[in-house]
């Protein structure tokens, strides 16, 4: 029989309410323990002095009660944020066992994997945005109330980051468009859908999304003043090499609008052919051949035509990983307590769509 402790009716972990939801914290920190020791010493010599200067000494029972109350108040008001129990990994289980009751949900994973901090890392930013977009399309109602609140808090931070840093606004515009469309459908059919919370809250969130869309629409890119070497000063072969490293057709078109030289390079047939071959299989070309006026294949138009029917390959600087040995989902940089002899052989990169599929039962 497993050891359960002195009392199986133990109240369990301490939980503290924060901006991102409820956080589990360690019962004591070094600073709090020192403070508790001081309170213990004081509790044995508590003296109350009144206006008539009569001294009344508390009984031992009153002293103990007062000391416990001070400890409780001190913990509530002066809890160190470093005491929060923050694990950046989560055990993915789909059935109940003796050790674990219930199963892991999408909302639980969304709260535990610290996406709020991940958006500050440029390698993970696109990954988190894509994940939020997939959730907005089909899984928004699968999130718990706390996870939905966390979702919109993260979205707020993403929009503020884009407004301040002007980083990849097109990606956020697509996310907000999908989210607003989903919310319009859910709010109109609120009786048939599952929306956690009052309908007025969701209407307020929809109004906030529309405000964000207007702010991004009016976003003006700041012109950077640089007296040194610029992109236009690079040789043509280096500019061409840069374009060949893009994996998104819209990025190529946007860069081609900077200078006439870049526009000429962005219209190269060979560039778009390589892009099509990277994202799509050769058998997919046959059903969507688009010849140009000269009889050649228009690879640029074919890329956008194929994009409507088939998914393109996704590239991210950093992704979540799944350990097949431990069944744990985690960020690779933070790691996890793996028990395998060679952990690297058990890791599998998890795409945003794979992340959603892990929690479909």
Residue 324 is predicted with a pLDDT of: 87
10 Å CB burial of residue 121 (0-12, 13-18, 19+) is middle
DSSP annotation of 222 reads: P
Which pLDDT score is estimated for 121?
86
- Per-residue b or e along 191-214, where b marks 16 or more CB atoms closer than 10 Å to that residue's CB: eeeebbeeeeebeebbeebeebbe
- Contact yes or no for 153/162 (Cβ under 8 A): no
Residue 210 binned pLDDT confidence (cut-offs 50, 70, 90): very high
Least confident of 224-238, 302-316, 323-337: 224-238
pLDDT, tens digit (0-9, with 9 covering 90-100), for 18-35: 777 777 765 544 544 554
Q: Return the pLDDT at 264.
A: 92
Q: Record the pTM.
A: 0.66
Q: Give residue-wise pLDDT tens across range 268-283.
A: 989 998 998 888 887 7
What are the angstrom distances between the C-alpha of 322 and each of 112, 332, 361? 15, 9, 18
Q: What are 253-271's pLDDT values in tens digits?
A: 988 888 889 999 999 989 9
Q: Which residue from 320, 315, 329, 275 is spatially nearest to 298, judged by alpha carbons?
A: 275
Q: Which of 43-57, 98-112, 162-176, 318-332 has the lowest mean pLDDT?
A: 43-57
What is the torsional sign of CA 123, 124, 130, 133? negative
Q: What is the pLDDT of residues 99-111, one digit of tens each?
A: 555 567 888 888 8
| pLDDT per position as a tens digit, 179-204 | 999 888 887 765 555 677 777 888 88
- Decide if pLDDT at 338 tops 80: yes
pLDDT for res 295: 66
Mean per-residue pLDDT of the chain: 76
Q: How confident is the model at residue 4 (pLDDT cuts 50, 70, 90)?
A: very low
Tokens of 120: 């500050």
Residue 140 predicted with pLDDT over 50: yes
Residue 57 has pLDDT above 50, yes or no: no
């Amino acid at each position: 029989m497993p050891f359960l402790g002195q009392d199986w009716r133990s109240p369990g972990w301490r939980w503290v309410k924060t901006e991102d939801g409820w956080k589990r914290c360690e019962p004591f920190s070094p600073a709090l323990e020192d403070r508790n020791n001081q309170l213990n010493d004081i509790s044995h010599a508590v003296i109350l002095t009144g206006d008539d200067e009569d001294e009344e000494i508390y009984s031992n029972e009153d002293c103990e009660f007062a000391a416990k109350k001070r400890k409780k108040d001190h913990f509530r008001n002066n809890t160190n944020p470093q005491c929060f129990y923050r694990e950046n990994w989560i055990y993915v289980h789909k059935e109940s066992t003796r050790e674990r009751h219930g199963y892991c949900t999408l909302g639980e994973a969304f709260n535990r994997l610290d996406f709020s901090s991940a958006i500050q890392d440029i390698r993970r930013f696109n990954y988190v945005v894509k994940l939020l977009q997939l959730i907005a399309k089909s899984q928004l109602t699968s999130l718990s109330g706390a996870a939905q609140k966390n979702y919109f808090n993260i979205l707020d931070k993403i929009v503020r980051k884009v407004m301040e840093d002007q980083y990849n606004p097109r990606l956020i515009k697509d996310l907000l468009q999908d989210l607003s469309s989903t919310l319009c459908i859910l709010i109109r059919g609120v009786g048939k859908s599952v929306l956690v919370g009052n309908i007025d809250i969701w209407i307020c969130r929809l109004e906030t999304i529309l405000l964000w869309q207007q702010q991004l629409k009016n976003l003006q890119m700041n012109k950077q003043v640089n007296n040194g070497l610029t992109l236009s000063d690079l040789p043509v072969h280096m500019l061409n090499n840069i374009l060949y490293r893009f994996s998104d057709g819209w990025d190529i078109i946007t860069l081609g609008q900077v200078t006439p030289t870049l526009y000429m390079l962005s219209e190269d047939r060979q560039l778009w052919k390589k892009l099509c071959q990277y994202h799509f299989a050769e058998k997919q070309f046959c059903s969507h051949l688009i010849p140009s006026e000269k009889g050649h294949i228009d690879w640029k138009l074919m890329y956008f035509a194929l994009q409507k029917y088939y998914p393109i390959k996704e590239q991210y600087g950093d992704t979540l990983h799944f350990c097949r040995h431990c069944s744990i989902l985690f960020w690779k940089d933070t790691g996890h307590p793996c028990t395998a002899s060679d952990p690297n052989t058990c890791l599998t990169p998890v795409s945003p769509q794979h992340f959603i599929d892990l929690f479909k039962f």
